[in-house]
Amino acid sequence: MAYKMKKLQIPWLKKRVVSLKVPITICLVLFGIIPMFLCTQTILSSLKQTQIDERMVEVQNQCQILSSKIARTGYLSGEDRSSLNSEIETIADVYNGRIVVVNRDFKIVQDTFHIAENRMHIAETVIRSFQGETVSRYNREKHYFAQAMPIYSLAPDKNIEGVLVMTASTESMVRLTDAVGDRLILFQVILILVLILAAVLAAAMMVRPFKEFQARLHHVEQGALDTDISSEAYRETRDISSSVAQTITKLQEVDQSRQEFVSNVSHELKTPITSIRVLADSLMGMGEVPVELYREFMEDISNEIDRESKIIDDLLSLVKMDKSEAELNITQVNLNTLVEQILKRLKPIANRRKVELIFESIREVTADVDEMKLSLAITNLVENAIKYNMEEGWVRVTLDADHKFFYLKVQDSGIGIPEDVQDRIFERFYRVDKARSRETGGSGLGLAITRNVVLMHKGAIKLSSKEGEGSTFTLRIPLNYIA
């Protein structure tokens, strides 16, 4: 069963891109207008209610004073009413209202509007006042306040002799608050325009560091990778510029690595050809040569051809693995058997170099892997461990697993790898000791291929080495492959 590694493609939604200034301006304007509107409405409402409350208190006080005067003067019993009538008329005019006096028979004895005198006034408020209540009401639609209160006789009787009903208009106060509201609306419009202008300027100032950062990035886009893109205006721009700087550094490293790779490929492919030409020219210039010398030269030429072929094969393997659509032919493989076959195949090389091969199988391990590619990776590790080992040395391969991963460890008693170059050991064509690597026939691509194989299997590879004491490569790969 083959799993194909496909590049994830995310469809971009076509959206209209707006400047950052737009949402900033909108937010600043809204945060200015909404509180201003709420404050204005609160002030107007509070002003209107305060004036109405004050008018209600004044009316209540006037009613109490007038009620006392009516009781003292014997107004309801029909005595001289002219002087008090004049005062009642004046009070009604002052409050732009109406005053009605009702006796105990529910008969109106005084009406400042002069339209209901001597008529019966049997209303709910009057009845409740005859029961001893003081009734107050405010009509918000018609803008007037009404109060009805009992008129008590003088002490010691304190009987209810009548009812005083007074209404007072609040229309003048409503007009005043409306006029104030109109002026406030005009003031708000002017303030909103000023606020919008201030918000636009503030947004432009806030966005300026991003525009400067964008200009620097444009220089980088044009190829000036050494442009200083640092921006300390805001923490966000600082973090972004830091991330972009790291990305640029990585791009520079990748570009440098690419150039080195091209240079190394050219050099590595040219070296065997140069050697073959030197050997061939030497043979042609010798004339009559012994068969033994001829064979020696031909053997050297054959070795150089093999080396050239290995470099080309390794390069092709790397190119195939680097492709985004590279395929893995996943099958269930018994790794114990696979490792034994690899060690058996490399046994002659180990014997020639007097290196002992040891296989430690902790448990039987079966995993979903690409057998051919994994075999190539393990072969590269074991072959390197043999080639860069000491005489009478050893190579130990340990296989173990848990419920999720299998672990393959390749240890050797070889020359080790200096600590300062261990980070570069998986780079293509990188050699710790170039002269010795060429002597052993290495292409400088084996560890790069091994790393690619491990990564294709969603695994990891780790190196632990000390110069002069040997090296340990540890592979961790999932038992079950998930594409």
- Using CA atoms, how far apart are residues 459 and 457, in angstroms rounded to an integer? 5
Instruction: Write down the mean pLDDT value for the chain.
Output: 81
Is 33 in the same domain as 119? yes
Per-residue model confidence (pLDDT) at position 48: 80
Same-domain check for residues 55 and 108: yes
Residue 209's Cβ-count burial label (10 Å; 0-12, 13-18, 19+) is: middle
18-32, 104-118, 378-392, range with the lowest pLDDT: 18-32
CATH assignment of the domain containing 165 = 3.30.450.20
Going by pLDDT thresholds of 50, 70 and 90, the confidence category of residue 3 is very low
Among 324, 351, 385, give the residue marking a domain's end: 324
| Tens-digit pLDDT profile for residues 431-471 | 665 544 445 545 567 888 899 899 989 999 999 998 888 99
Residue 216 domain-assigned?
Answer: no
What is the total count of domains within the chain? 3
Tokens of 84: 């008090």
pLDDT confidence tier of residue 163, bands split at 50, 70 and 90:
very high
Q: What is the pLDDT of residue 320?
A: 67
Same domain, 312 and 362: no
- From the number of C-beta atoms within 10 Å of its C-beta (0-12, 13-18, 19+), residue 132 rates as exposed
Instruction: Return the structure tokens found at 242.
Output: 């830091």
pLDDT at 10 over 60: no
Same domain, 317 and 345: no
- Residue 128 confidence (pLDDT) above 60: yes
State the DSSP code for 420. G
Segment 149-165 shows an average pLDDT of 86
Q: What b/e string do you get for 194-206 counting C-beta neighbours within 10 Å, with b at 16 or more? A: ebbeebeeebeeb
The pLDDT value recorded for residue 360 is 95
Question: The domain containing residue 334 runs over which residues?
Answer: 327-478
Statement to judge: residues 237 and 151 lie in one domain: no
* Higher per-residue pLDDT: 270 or 396: 396
pLDDT higher than threshold 90 for residue 218: no
* Interval 293-311 mean pLDDT: 76
- Among residues 176, 193, 213, the one where a domain terminates is 176
Tell me the angle at which helices 371-387 and 335-352 cross, rounded to the nearest 10 degrees: 30
* Mean pLDDT to the nearest integer, 240-255: 76
Whole-prediction pTM = 0.47
Please indicate, yes or no, if residue 195 is contained in any of the structural domains. no
pLDDT over 90 for what percent of the chain?
20
Tell me if residue 433 falls in helix, strand or coil.
coil
- On whether the CB atoms of residues 337 and 296 are closer than 8 A, the answer is no
Question: What integer is the mean pLDDT of 133-151?
Answer: 87
Output the domain CATH number for residue 310. 1.10.287.130
